[in-house]
Amino acid sequence: MRPARALIDLEALRHNYRIAREVTGAKALAVIKADAYGHGAVRCAQALEAEADGFAVACIEEALELRAAGIRAPVLLLEGIFEADELALIVEHDFWTVVHSLWQLEAIEQATLSKPITVWLKLDSGMHRVGLHPKDYPAAYQRLLASGKVAKIVLMSHFARADELHAQSSTEQVAVFEAARQGLAAEVSLRNSPAVLGWPKIHSDWVRPGIMLYGATPFEEANAVADRLQPVMTLESKVISVRELPAGEPVGYGAKFITDKPMRIGVVAMGYADGYPRQAPTGTPVLVAGKRSRILGRVSMDMLCIDLTDVPEADLGSTVELWGKNILASEVAQWADTIPYQIFCNLRRVPRLYSEG
């Protein structure tokens, strides 16, 4: 059997969720959209259900998968409905839904619902992606109440630059939000992972930890709370071939790496078809036989090459950690000029093996 695999530490997942609760004192929706950022939404939800205040997914398809697996906790649809007929499923399965546009509000007003629903009313406070304009926000809140079809409203917005700890954007967005919600009696939800970790003064009755659940930092700089997170996924494989090459020999497609001395090269069963970033350059760190080494040359579809020159104990069958508890996903992402969100979400083909730590 091909040795590439992703090891998922569910106790680390719970540890990271508890940090979100501890540092904010707020209720927390565990964000498990995009198949829990590649970690497996059902298994992650099952691991967290006993203590999570609820879950957040992108769309109703992801929410229905959780209900089919027996998850009964609240589930919020972060993108809300795409068609009015989804409201019947929201009622049937007790989902919560974001309302971020006037047409979604109108769909609720016009729908025949057997019981009222919970709505998270989203304000565009400056990200300019989705959300109601500040001038429409108070009236939308009043219309939802007047409809008689809403049991509870949570007021929410989303930060565009909370991962930039010295930017003023988040403070400016909070000011827009506070002005728009004046006189509206409801709980609020503002803080995503970077705001949970790096913006402790922002009030939020509900927080929405996402990337931090999986043990990766959203920041490019050190952060004391982020340093307490535990990586949940370890992506690993094994050395399947060893080459002894003299100086001046090319390695991999396009001859992007040429040996500058006699070198020992290991071939690893891992490639971009597994989700490892193709753009990861020579020098991207790996751990082989318990020692740090590096990738050499281009990542190919099913294989990549690593430097074994200074790791004489590594040989055929040696375990290679591509990212995990020793080689952080955020470090790999920086080398590959991407973000840990993307490399987690790109995981495919590799079997996931779950453990309690």
Please give the structure tokens belonging to residue 66.
């959780």
Handedness of CA 336, 338, 342, 344 (dihedral sign): positive
Q: How far is CA 347 from the centre of its chain?
A: 12
Beta bridge partners of 129: none
Beta strands in 24-170 (DSSP E): 27-28, 30-31, 55-57, 75-77, 96-99, 117-122, 150-156
Tell whether residue 156 is among the known ligand binding residues: no
> What's the rounded Cα separation, in Å, for the pair 205 and 80?
20
Q: CB of 51 within 8 A of CB of 213?
A: no
Question: Which helix H or strand E contains 294, and what residues bound it?
Answer: strand 291-296
Catalytic residue flag (residue 256): no
Beta bridge partners of 71: none
> What's the rounded Cα separation, in Å, for the pair 266 and 264?
7
Please give the structure tokens belonging to residue 70.
């027996």
Tell whether residue 129 is among the known ligand binding residues: yes
Q: CB of 331 within 8 A of CB of 235?
A: no
**Catalytic annotation, pick one of 135, 201, 253, 272:** 253
DSSP 3-state assignment of 319? strand
Q: How many CA atoms lie within 13 A of 72 on its CB side?
A: 1
Q: What is the 3-state secondary structure (H, E, C) of 195-237?
A: HHHHCCCCCCCEEECCHHHHCCCCCCCCCCCHHHCCCCEEEEE
Beta bridge partners of 187: 154
- Taking the C-alpha atoms of 289, 293, 294 and 300 in order, what is their torsion angle to the nearest 10 degrees? -10
28: which residues sit within 8 A by CB, 6+ positions away? 17, 20, 21, 52, 53, 206, 207, 208, 209
Catalytic residue flag (residue 33): yes
**Catalytic annotation, pick one of 17, 27, 33, 152:** 33
Which residues contribute to the annotated binding site for substrate?
129, 301
Catalytic residues: 33, 253
